[in-house]
Structure 1
Amino acid sequence: MNQSVIKALKLLDLFTEDQQELTLKEISHQANMPKPTAYRLLSALESCRFLYKTKETEHDSRYRLGLKLLELGSLVSDQLELREIALPYMEKLAQQINEAIHLVIVTQDEATYIEKVESNRALRLYTRIGKSTPLYIGSGPKLLLAFLPEDQQEKILTEDKLYFLGDHQPVHRKSLIRELEKIRQEGYACSTGEQDADTTGISYPIYDHSGSVVAALTVSGLSSHFEGENVTFIKTSTKNKAREISTQLGYRGEGFAG
């Protein structure tokens, strides 16, 4: 791991409720590092808006925590609120259909699983909270990709190589674009065998108060469970719970098809 990055981030820990503003001299002393080194690291943090300089003289500078930390803190808070709101509905859905339920969001250019409720079945899927996958593999990630702004979609779709996870077979870009359009039209996503063999996933969008898709509510299980009347029941139940979660987040639109 890059030691300079670690040293820079440790400087942020020096700022506390009692020490909301520190000088270069104080930071250098408390971090036990030469002033030129401290200044270089502080300048890097300042350029990324983790710190801002409140005063600078010929002999010293003063720093406070920057707004970038507030932005990141707000994102974490939003994720925690989403998980807290969604979890009871996920647990009810798991009881109704007895399949694994996941909550998936976009982090940078990947899909990340931030919550999970297991089924009661003896054979369970291996997924974990914090797992990240490409946005073009699996029903949850593809649903999120389908509702991303065009510029973000374009960035992902123009990557040099797109591969499925398991067999590393190439993803056909034109087919994927057609599938994303179908997801937007139908209002849900379905995939089979894309992350794990013989498994199926069905996902519906979760909207926030602004009408933006902020997460995917995903049901996953053995493909043999997703047949006939049962798959209709799974789809209806999942869509209803996605709508209920969205309502709790302030959504008042009509964005649920499927």
Structure 2
Amino acid sequence: MTTTARQKPGRARSGETSSVRTLERGLTVLLALKELRRAPLSVLARQVNLSASTTYRLLETLRQHGFVEWDEPSGVYSVGLRAYQVGLAFTERNNLISSAHPEMEALVGDLNETVNLAVLYGSEAVYVHQVEGRQLMRMFAHLGDNAPLHASGVGKVLLAWRPEGDVRQKLGDGPFPAYTTHSITTLAALLRELAQVREQGYSVDDEERELGVRCVAVPVRDHTRQVVASLSVSAPTSRFGRDQIAEVAGRMNRAAEQVSIRLGWG
């Protein structure tokens, strides 16, 4: 009589472990391609710290399933249609985006500047929706782009109503990266800034991420009264003076309140 050894609970077979590792690497390659937008094999391999042969095999699998596209004449890879379809499924099921879109359209009509919607993801803010302004020179972020929490209007709003311990957990004790000479780089200065954001009800990115760009962001709340997103407007400082901040913030807070009501706040 033969006996079959049973696998111990919780222990993955070696083949399963290999498959999971391959999946993780494939997702890493796809995320890198999202950041780079378009890139040849050699650049992608360096970005993900894998050999060219391994990166190629992962890309080929992703290409066969439609998540990656390859332009043969240039040898450049880009994100494929299937990845867009997956992202679209998130958009369609997300009540936040559908609730925010009409107010974002109205803000663009009033302010004639691009309006963004961002949420907290880990230790970064991520832009999940956008309505572009009509100015010839527009300030906008690509959907899916990340913004540093300490050096962006949306980031500071998403942090401001969270406990101090949570802020420390997400950002550490500093120093934080300086993108310009205006960037906040210490935890103490950031905590003071967040207290001011709570007091006035909006945050300002005054050339902290990019020189010549000013941004105002406001909180969006859900039925639990928690801040779940941030609406922001960015514009060149030549079009968006400091004397306009309070008026713009007031208009944006009225829009954010309507979004929050749709989400059950009130």
Superposed CA deviations along residues 20-64 of structure 1, whole A, max 9, x for unmatched, are xxxx9xxxxxxxxxx9433546999xxxxxxxxxxxxxxxxxxxx
Instruction: State the 1:127 CA deviation.
Output: 1.2
Structure 2: 5+ residue runs without aligned partners?
Answer: 1-5, 7-11, 22-89
Instruction: State the 1:212 CA deviation.
Output: 0.3
Among candidates 76, 84, 95, match of residue 109 of structure 2: 95
Superposed CA deviations along residues 95-141 of structure 1, whole A, max 9, x for unmatched, are 10111111011001111111111111111124111111221111111
Structure 1: 5+ residue runs without aligned partners?
Answer: 1-23, 25-34, 45-75, 253-258
Q: Secondary structure at the match of 2:199?
A: helix
Q: Distance in 1 between matches of 2:16 and 2:240?
A: 59
Instruction: State the 1:82 CA deviation.
Output: 0.7
| 8 Å contact kept, 2:104–2:131 | yes
Q: Name the structure 2 match of 1:133.
A: 147
Superposed CA deviations along residues 190-216 of structure 1, whole A, max 9, x for unmatched, are 121112211111111000000000001
Q: Secondary structure at the match of 2:223?
A: coil
Q: Name the structure 2 match of 1:181.
A: 195
In structure 2, the CA distance between the partners of 1:77 and 1:134, relative to structure 1 (3 Å rule), is: same
In structure 2, the CA distance between the partners of 1:160 and 1:116, relative to structure 1 (3 Å rule), is: same
Report sequence identity in percent. 26
Question: How many pairs does the alignment contain?
Answer: 189
Q: Secondary structure at the match of 1:225?
A: coil
| 8 Å contact kept, 1:225–1:231 | no
Among candidates 213, 226, 233, match of residue 219 of structure 1: 233
In structure 2, the CA distance between the partners of 1:80 and 1:136, relative to structure 1 (3 Å rule), is: same
Using the TM superposition, name which of 167-176 and 97-106 deviates more: 167-176
Q: Secondary structure at the match of 1:224?
A: coil
Q: Name the structure 1 match of 2:70.
A: none
Q: Secondary structure at the match of 1:247?
A: helix
Structure 1 residue identity aligned to 2:240:
F
Instruction: State the 1:229 CA deviation.
Output: 6.4
Among candidates 2, 10, 14, match of residue 37 of structure 1: 14
Residue 194 in structure 1 maps to residue 239 in structure 2: no
Instruction: State the 1:172 CA deviation.
Output: 2.6
Q: Secondary structure at the match of 2:130?
A: strand
RMSD across aligned C-alpha pairs, in angstroms?
3.0
Q: Secondary structure at the match of 1:136?
A: helix
Q: Distance in 2 between matches of 1:77 and 1:125?
A: 22
Q: Secondary structure at the match of 2:151?
A: coil
Instruction: State the 1:156 CA deviation.
Output: 3.1
Structure 2 residue identity aligned to 1:235:
A
Q: Secondary structure at the match of 2:257?
A: helix
| 8 Å contact kept, 2:212–2:237 | yes
Q: Name the structure 2 match of 1:208.
A: 222
Q: Secondary structure at the match of 2:107?
A: helix
TM-score normalised over the length of structure 1: 0.65
Q: Secondary structure at the match of 2:167?
A: helix
Q: Distance in 1 between matches of 2:20 and 2:141?
A: 40
Residue 236 in structure 1 maps to residue 218 in structure 2: no
Structure 2 residue identity aligned to 1:156:
K
Instruction: State the 1:186 CA deviation.
Output: 1.5
